[in-house]
Chains A and B, each alone.
Chain A
């Protein structure tokens, strides 16, 4: 029995992870080297240590039955959230945020572990309400589950970490069986709420003030129109309730989406004025902010682009070695790899990362039970959205926020979280015969 379960464990996934982690350690070594003082910061050694600790944790977790862990999901979530809240209010400020608990030799970032705790609880909840998930009201509890971590992590001034919970939630709800029209509606509201203000801010910055701008900026017109759509939505919703005609859905849902979008859009637009506005404009036109808001992404793109097809070689990346690229061991480690290994290296890295995601997702398909599937999906989402957002930022497709590249970036908490996730995946893989 035990032999057969070990044979189910995905050795290829583990090898892929070891390859990526090695890539990361090598890159941290390179980024930590100072070509002028000929010294290395030695961070790579700590990363090796973190990996070893993570590996031990992975094995420990993989032995434990994930269903057993699932039983404790609310407690794990509650304890982690409690520590997170304590950190938010009592931790010292390190690099601009109160995200770390300092143990002297090392520090721990509870928000990293919160990602896993939240995913475990979401998986448990979705499994529990699986049959009713197509009801819109069932989506409120998952929303509240992520709301607390998001809120306190934003209070820690760690916007990037907070934001990663949102796509994870949507992806898990999607896989878990939520009504697609609900997901599409929420995404549509979000789309209208953010895309209209951004487009207008951009246009206004270019000096193109149009009738549409005036409509959103001045007076109550926009709210009157929103009110009209809300009225239509309510009307058809009541008709739908009384006559139970499915076609009314096609009227009241878009109307509702549209009205909420129109209500939020001007509010968001006003909130975005000022500092956030400059951040957004810096993302859209980084070249206009070369020394402050646009600096990181400009230097990152130069690092990546100048790597060319074959790269400059280990320790030879000028952007990295001469300090033009910021955050070389964490947020912009992908740029370092691109600069020193070139497109060939990056292509291999992304392929291996895709393989990791693919094998994790396959674990979800092969899982013996729904909780295992959903947990595997959640862990996959944690990995995937880190990769997507981190790489998206470095190549200039997503506005700059601080997000590590899983398995690659320097950082103990992120490494441990990722390895524990891997342990959970292994537990799911090995326990499926027990069902």
Chain B
């Protein structure tokens, strides 16, 4: 092989390989172009959306939460009772990057520290530790005068901004605590539960009472400011993206004056008062004592106060009207009477002799004392209700047996929720023979029956159930669902959006004779029986007292719970009747403790004109 032929061969090979290499280059470029085409043309829209998400930041404008008024709200009145409202409050903020340098920031904070209560070195270090472009809060809830001062001396406080962050105010603190409740920051569990309903981590959420029940109505819809931001969260421009929609105002069924009376009447006791309009279910007053100050609950750094309230042995967070079960005691005699009469097993005029005690025949005879331990003599059913004779009702119970009593207790809903629009309602408990066998492995004894007949033993009810039951008597068998919201109004122009209508939930067919007997007995309780203290009031009242002994320590007098349930006016003509239910824990006896509280309620209602219609009818 000659030298030149080798060279020629190598040259030929070289040219071949150059063409192969150009081919490889060409394919590489094709691959790059195809990939760019894929990204830009095939998936272009997808990436455009991602770029948009990158640069857009929506700053929420939190909607104004609806306010709450009492039932006397009037558009024209100047003196409406605002139960829950919002107070404007200002947070001072700054963005560190806006300052020339740290010394300017430090000087500015130092100037601020002379007019507002801040530790400027602490705040300075805190701000320094954060991202330069972060929106830092220097101080929360700065008074308006201070804001004015800062605004008018911008040279002293450069780059200091303020944001309007309304604070919830409960104007009557404890008085409405259990009804209105309070709001708080959303916690992790709540966030997971509600995030699909549009709740965000920065939202406040109703935690208790009506604030919780009607949170969706009260909170409105957030608006937002659309910002174009860069990677450091700097803003290029901003505009209103969506206007916020204010939450609705609520007008409660509660009357401030009656609520105040109830709250004051309860001051010395642990207990609850419910006032309800029988023919609609409107709750005129619902008070539970002790209460709590919701303004303290929602304040910052209140963990200790919150803990103390939670550990208080009187449990101020408990709404005793709906969340506690008590033995109904003598107030339950009304159920026993209705059961006996409706089943046709007893005549109201049947006379029984009360010697002051009752002997239950059995393997070993049991002696039970009558109320107060004194003899009532020979009495009929009217008198037995009026004077709350245990012996008479022992006899009734013994005669008719437990089943009708249980049946009527259930008819009146004493084992179910009334459906009042407050969260956390519990149900009462009506025992049954089957239940006793299952739990205690024992059959139902006569002793259980006679205990049940006077509302002792296994049975327990909530005060609101009891109020609901009494409204059933007052309404001749019809029960309306208790409710707390009278009107929903718009926050902007206060126009009515929705007016709550009464809702009939039960209609128990009761004979005229039954109703007459029970009502007359209740009336006699006021005219000559255990509630006689109410007799001096102009409005005719019908009522029933009770002194409940708790099962666990029945010998201990101080564990008696005092009951009063009743309604007024006692009239066949007037439909507009009001039920008052009072329960005092560890009260001496119904007549001694609960009746004076009821008296204050009826007295206040009377002086507020609640029974005026009744007066007109009599004139």
Which residues of A approach B to under 8 Å, CB–CB?
35-36, 130-131, 171, 174-175, 177, 299, 301-309, 318-319, 321-324, 338, 342-343, 346-347, 350, 353-354, 357-358, 361, 364-365, 370, 373, 377, 384, 388, 391-392, 395-397
- Given A36-B230, A36-B236, A397-B31: A338 touches B6 (CB 8 Å cut-off): no
Alpha-carbon distance A131/B14, docked complex (angstroms): 12
Given A346-B40, A391-B32, check contact A361 B21 (CB 8 Å): yes
12 contacts between A and B (CB under 8 A): A36-B236, A174-B17, A304-B47, A308-B44, A309-B40, A322-B229, A343-B37, A343-B40, A343-B41, A350-B33, A350-B36, A361-B25
Shortest beta-carbon distance, B49 to chain A, in Å?
8
How many chain B residues touch A (CB < 8 A): the figure is 42
A168 to chain B, nearest CB (A): 12
Complex contacts, B230 vs chain A, CB 8 Å = 35-36, 321-324
Q: Which of A131, A171, A354 has the most CB of B within 10 A?
A: A354
| A309 and B54 within 8 A (CB) | no
Alpha-carbon distance between A392 and B36 when the two chains are bound, in angstroms: 10
Q: In the complex, which of the residues B13, B31, B47, B52 contacts A177, with contact meaning CB atoms closer than 8 Å?
A: B13
Q: Are B6 and A324 in contact (CB under 8 A)?
A: no
Beyond contacts A324-B231, A343-B41, A370-B14: 8 other A-B pairs, Cβ-Cβ < 8 A, are: A177-B10, A177-B14, A305-B47, A318-B51, A322-B229, A338-B39, A343-B40, A397-B31
Is A392 touching B48 in the complex (CB atoms < 8 A)?
no
Q: Is the CB of B15 within 8 A of A365?
A: yes
* Residues of B that sit less than 8 Å from A by CB: 6, 10, 13-15, 17-18, 20-22, 25-26, 28-29, 31-33, 35-37, 39-41, 43-48, 50-52, 54-55, 228-232, 234-236
CA distance A365 to B11 in the complex (A): 10
Instruction: Determine if A354 and B25 form an interchain contact, defined as CB atoms under 8 angstroms apart.
Output: yes
**Closest residue of A by beta carbon distance from B29:** A354
* Interchain CA distance A309-B40 in the complex, whole Å: 6
Q: How far is the CB of A360 from chain B (nearest CB, A)?
A: 10
Q: Which residues of A contact B22 (CB under 8 A)?
A: 358, 361
What is the bound-complex CA distance between A419 and B230, given in angstroms? 36
Cβ–Cβ contact B40 & A307, under 8 A = yes
User: Bound state CA distance, A396 and B39, in angstroms?
Assistant: 10
Contact B6 A131, beta carbon cutoff 8 Å? yes
Residues of A within 8 A of B47 (CB): 301-302, 304-306
Give chain B residues whose Cβ lies under 8 Å from the Cβ of A321: 230
Given the complex of chains A and B, what is the CA–CA distance between A370 and B7 in angstroms? 10
Contact A322 B29 (CB under 8 A): no
Q: Do B35 and A365 have beta carbons less than 8 Å apart?
A: no
| A384: B residues at CB distance < 8 A | 25, 28
Minimal beta-carbon separation of A58 from chain B (angstroms): 23
* Alpha-carbon distance between A388 and B26 when the two chains are bound, in angstroms: 11
- Contact with B17, one of A177, A342, A358, A392 (Cβ below 8 angstroms): A177
Would you list the 9 A-B pairs with minimal beta carbon distance, nearest first? A305-B47, A322-B230, A306-B51, A323-B231, A305-B39, A308-B44, A343-B40, A306-B47, A395-B35
Tell me whether B236 and A322 are in contact (CB under 8 A).
yes
Q: Out of B48, B55, B228, B234, name the residue touching A305 (CB < 8 Å).
A: B48
Give the CA-CA distance A131 to B33 in the complex, in Å. 38
A309, B21: Cβ atoms under 8 Å? no
- Chain B residues contacting A347 (CB-CB under 8 Å) are 33, 36
B17 and A305 within 8 A (CB): no
A131-B10 Cα distance, complex, nearest whole Å: 8
Q: Inside 8 A of A302's CB, which chain B residues have their CB?
A: 47, 50-51, 54
Chain B residues within an 8 Å CB radius of A397:
31-32, 35
A370 to B10, CA, bound (A): 10
Residue of A whose beta carbon sits closest to that of B3: A131
Judge whether B18 and A175 touch: CB under 8 Å.
Answer: yes
Is the beta-carbon distance between B41 and A308 smaller than 8 angstroms? yes
Bound: A57/B52 CA distance, A: 44
Contacts of A364 in B (CB 8 A): 18
Q: What is the CB-to-nearest-CB distance from B125 to chain A, in angstroms, rounded to a whole number?
A: 27
**A299-B228 Cα distance, complex, nearest whole Å:** 17
Once the chains bind, are B14 and A318 in contact (CB under 8 Å)?
no
Minimum CB–CB distance from B327 to chain A (whole Å) comes to 61
Q: Smallest CB-CB separation from A358: which chain B residue? A: B22
> How far is A388 from B230 in the complex, measured between Cα atoms in Å?
30
Q: Knowing A324-B231, A361-B21, A395-B32 are in contact, say whether A301-B40 is a contact too (CB < 8 A).
A: no
Q: From residue B152, how far is it (CB to closest CB) to chain A in Å?
A: 29
- Give the docked Cα–Cα distance between A315 and B32 (Å): 25
B21:A171 contact, CB within 8 angstroms: yes
CB within 8 A of B32: which of A35, A301, A309, A392? A392
- A338 partner residues in chain B, CB cutoff 8 A: 36, 39-40
The residues of A that contact B20 with a CB separation of less than 8 Å are: 174
